[in-house]
Amino acid sequence: MNVPDPTPVRLTSFSHGGGCGCKIAPAVLRDILGRTAGALVPPQLLVGIETADDAAVYRLNDTQAIVATTDFFMPIVDDPFDFGAIAATNAISDVYAMGATPLFALALVGMPVQALPVDAIRAILAGGESVCAKAGIPIAGGHTIDCVEPIYGLVAIGLVDPRHVKRNAGARPGDRLVLGKPLGVGIYSAALKKGELDAAQYAAMLASTTQLNTPGIALGKLEGVHALTDVTGFGLLGHLHEICRGSNVGASVDFASVPLHPGTLELAARGVRTGASERNWAGYGADVDLANSLGDAQRALLTDPQTSGGLLVACAPETVADVLALFRAEHFERAAVIGTIEATAPRIRVA
């Protein structure tokens, strides 16, 4: 059974790409940022753009630092409320990925006001507000423009003790890798556009993309957690590659241990995947060694752009039980150990 179209207007018909699959390819982004002139970097700026981290961190005093991030994109689903909820969850995730607690948000809204019904626009904003309410934060303002594609997201502001800031750099050889959510959201979104996503798969997609990455707050306080990020537009391998580059280490991944959303491997084997998956592989595939037993479908899952994906943790072996317990306590039932950090050049081996 296919998911029924919930509105007379399909939101995804307005957008050339959806969700975090809209992100600029990693290699192109590095080239853009690498040519950007150096700017003022005050000593209070604890985290900037140097390692492509999830958010900026600015120290206020010895016990408080502001975490600031922004994220927005075009529709990944057709239901306006669901789109707003997914986009808001995704934006707030970067605060959790730094080990911080969200404080408030600002809405970023671009809508084709002459083509999209007002009720649909209201529903998008209501979806975002519902997620912020779950996170315990207000939407304190924002900005709106009239544009040809629907765009929604948030500026998310959080607070963290500087001693508890977690970055996507700092992983150590011997660390275990833990992934908080299954992969396959991009493949689900591609199937939705083709009319090949059933109701149960849509429900799984929505449940995953609207689940707030709240374990990040407690993970930030664990000394044994050495690196933390969330898996979004660059896929699992892309964000692990950023950890490896920032930490000057390598990694190994056991594909059989990687949690996948139901039916995604079968969809990928039928050729259902996003263009972003191929762009991702082109950006970092030269630093990845895939076992001969893994084919195009497995590679598509590993490079699949995840909208509002799971946290990726590099932690000491003796901390793994605590990390998994934190995930389970917050109802991340499929969180799993998927690999190991190695004392090698920044390459990733997948077996």
Pick the closest to residue 166 from 222, 209, 86, 110 (CA basis): 222
- CA angle, corner 162, sides to 166 and 234, nearest 5? 25
Asked if 91 and 154 count as a contact pair (C-beta separation under 8 A), the reply is yes
Residue type (1 letter), 23: K
Terminus-to-terminus CA distance in the chain, angstroms?
35
8-state DSSP, 3: P
Mapping DSSP to helix (H, G, I), strand (E, B) and coil, where does residue 280 land?
A: helix
Buried b or exposed e, range 29-58, using 16+ CB within 10 angstroms: eeeeeeeeeeeeeeeeebbeeebbbbbbbb
Task: Name every residue whose Cβ is closer than 8 Å to that of residue 258 and which is 6 or more positions away in sequence.
Answer: 179, 183, 236, 301, 302, 336, 338
What positions carry a catalytic annotation?
A: 20
